[in-house]
Structure 1
Amino acid sequence: MSEEQRTCLECNEPIKGRADKKFCSDGCRNAYNNREFRDVNNLIRNTNRVLSKNRKILVEMNPTGKTKTTRDILVGKGFNFDYFTSIYETKKGGRYYFCYDQGYIFLDAQSIALVKKLEDLNNH
């Protein structure tokens, strides 16, 4: 009975070892998976970059944990309103948008209140 020769999915070199092995080395396995998941990884990396930048801007603009600013100021600093990690709805129907522990709520078309931590919202 002859055994079919298995080859590495990355480099096509012969594979030795377990019958279910798909790669000849960890390096080939990593290279293959990095290429296969590149688009997904780039999406996640880019999303995290925007969220991190948004949070950094909110921290910079809100050193005391509660302040007001304007939409134009945040946009001027590079803030992207399309990216946030969660939404908190108040009993009165207001919506706080959070980038991790830093949040904001629109007071009107231009004015924005900045807050820190979800626990702080219990006072509203």
Structure 2
Amino acid sequence: MIKRHLLGTMFALILTSFTHAANVKAINDDAWLAEGPIWYQDKLFYVEHGRGSVDVWDGKKNAIFWKMDGCGPSAVLPTTTGEFLVTCYDNNTIGRIFADGKSLPAYDKDTDGNPFSGPNDFAPDK
């Protein structure tokens, strides 16, 4: 009796998960290891590690916002000044980007002068 009840519960959960999965919409079916998403000014910014880019989705289409070969981005974060920071895992830096998508000089050391080692993610401090 207990096995039958557990089996029924598991079956119901599986069906529920399939129902929710049917509502999922891919916004970029050609993404190369997309990660580190953040909503900013009604747009979704995310990185494509394999493509070396920060992409933006405006609700209708995707565009490459910034690209740097060898960066290996894994997260992007807007700053209070309107610029963006991006973790460059492959070249051990924190990339900096103007609001228009142009590169600024990257940070390659922390405030104590120590080099970064594979920066991977950000956490907004709000």
Give the alignment's TM-score, normalised by structure 1. Answer: 0.31
Asked which structure has the greater CA Rg, the reply is 1
Higher relative helix content = 1
Bigger relative CO (Cα 8 Å, ≥ 6 apart): 1
Give the alignment's TM-score, normalised by structure 2. Answer: 0.30
